[in-house]
Structure 1
Amino acid sequence: MKMIKNPVYTFLILILINVYTAKSQEKSSQQDAEAILQKAIRAHGGTRYNAAAYQFVFRGDTYTFKSKEGSYLYAVKKQEKGKEIYDVIENGVFKRTINNEEKALSKGAVTRHYEALNSVVYFATLPHKLNDASVNKTYKGSTTIKGKTYDALEISFSGDHGDIFHFWIDQKTGIIDYFAYKFTAGGGGTRFRSAYNPRTIDGIRFQDYINYKAASKVAFSELPALYEAGKLKKLSNIDTEQIVNLDK
């Protein structure tokens, strides 16, 4: 019996095949991204972050982070105009005391101080918090920076957090030697950071960073080459100092 070729039927089959292939590739990419991220987290401290208590100094202020059994506390103690200010985030709730008296703050002030404290601890403990449920991970392929091969991960966040990050993770060691981010606050911008002065303190790795500025429209994929060519503008050093394990 002679088969009748139906071009519409053939076209639909091809569409289904393409959709299936695309979904399979997307799933594979997500699995790659997850595996690479977990390798990086292990390389920087792994499960030790889940029960930790450390103190460090950043730009003259003393910070503390503690985590245990799913609970966490971030704190910073600083002096301003002769007053001792103590900011705390405990399981997502912010509180400020001034000279040991709790201070009532506007909603805007709470948001501002919360984000300032959270940001310092977040960067100091990278990549620990990238395991949060709100984190979206995408594998962006591999690249070479200064003779080493890196896997690139794009990190975005669910909700109203518009910042996007790229991490370059050493294929052999799982160490994050470089990362970059694009932010929207204050008119937006692009930053690239290069790690230096790594030290492991009781199983958790801490790194300092040189902070560079790039044009806002520069693609993440272009940043490594610009960095190698010396075409990024250095802004500052991000140094985490006097690190102490409070559990010892």
Structure 2
Amino acid sequence: MKYLLVLCCIVTLLRCDQKSAKYLSAQDVIDKSIEASGGAKFDSSIIEFDFRDKHYYAERNQGTFKLVRTFKDSTRKITDFLTNKGFERHENNKPVKVPDSMLSRYSASVNSVHYFSVLPYGLNDAAVNKVLLEEKNIKNKAYYIVKVTFNQDGGGEDFEDVFVYWINQESFKVDYLAYSYNETDGTGFRFREAYNERYINGLRFVDYNNYKPKQSKLSVSQLDELFEKGELELLSKIELKNINVD
């Protein structure tokens, strides 16, 4: 009788574990993914890196942030600042007036690179909506798939963009992501494959192979199928260099 009771307890615990794993919500998956990538360390951090011909600097402190982009043209050093208070541009270390028509474009350009550099951090912002899609396998690995949309209020200039994240069921790391965005002639799509993973002072960084589909009439969540079939075109590589974390 004693052994039977122990066996019943083990079976019950296994069923509970299976149930809890099976019924993870989109929020649960994102929380675990953020934790696997550095978690709360992002909240109080200074991150610097180079991307293509520009230098990026991000300072985050429990909800306040300063995102910076610095680059040079033929005659000027241009520094863009995006903070909780808004956007500001300096040329040769002096503030300049930015036309209202360009403010949102410059802000989105600065934010976009910083946003991708620390994913999945940022996916718990108030303007983010998350839905768990049907699980799939890519290259014989099982993935949770989370679809992300944004509220217009707080979602930025590109709030209509749709993102999908393929999160490894064992490691809870984002191995693939895709997004759709509005173009003048329709909807554009991108699919990114993470590689060159490294942890710097406890924070995870990756580079990406950046793909585009050869067809236009599809859903962003279908891009993984085209990737597995080899039907995506490699467009570019997204590489972060000279990363420093404090």
Runs of 4+ in 1 over 4 A off after TM superposition: none
**Partners in 1 of 2:33 and 2:216 — Cα distance?**
27
Unaligned runs of 5+ in 2: 1-21
Counterpart residue type for residue 204 of structure 1: L
In the TM superposition, what are the counterparts of 1:144-163 in structure 2 within 5 Å? 144-159=137-152, 161-163=159-161
Inter-CA distance 141–53: structure 2 relative to 1 (3 Å threshold) = same
Gaps of 5+ in 1: 1-28
Q: TM-score, normalised by structure 1?
A: 0.84
Aligned-pair identity in percent equals 35
- Tell me the amino acid that sits aligned with residue 38 of structure 1: D
How has the CA–CA distance of structure 1 residues 173 and 166 changed in structure 2, closer, same or farther, with 3 Å as cutoff?
same
Q: 1:86 aligns with which of 62, 79, 88?
A: 79
Change (3 A) 1:164 1:83: same
1:37 corresponds, among 30, 39, 43, to: 30
Question: How many residue pairs are counted as aligned between the two chains?
Answer: 218
Equivalent pair of 1:182/1:216 in contact (CA under 8 Å): no
Q: Which residue of structure 2 lines up, in the alignment, with residue 176 of structure 1?
A: 174
Are residues 221 and 114 of structure 1, via their aligned partners in 2, closer, same or farther at CA, if it must alter by over 3 Å? closer
Question: Which segment is superposed worse, 160-169 or 116-125?
Answer: 160-169
Report the equivalent of 2:237.
237
1:220 aligns with 2:213: no
Bigger share in helix: 1
Tell me: CA distance 1:110–1:221, structure 2 relative to 1, closer, same or farther (3 Å): closer
Q: CA deviation at 1:193?
A: 0.4
For residue 166 of structure 1, what is the aligned residue in structure 2? 164
3-state secondary structure, aligned to 1:126? coil
1:190 aligns with 2:183: no
Deviation at 1:82, TM superposition (A): 2.3
- What amino acid is aligned across from residue 191 of structure 1 in structure 2? R
Residues 191 and 212 in structure 2, CA contact (< 8 A), matched pair in contact too: yes
TM-score by length of 2: 0.85
Say what the alpha-carbon RMSD is for the aligned residues: 1.5
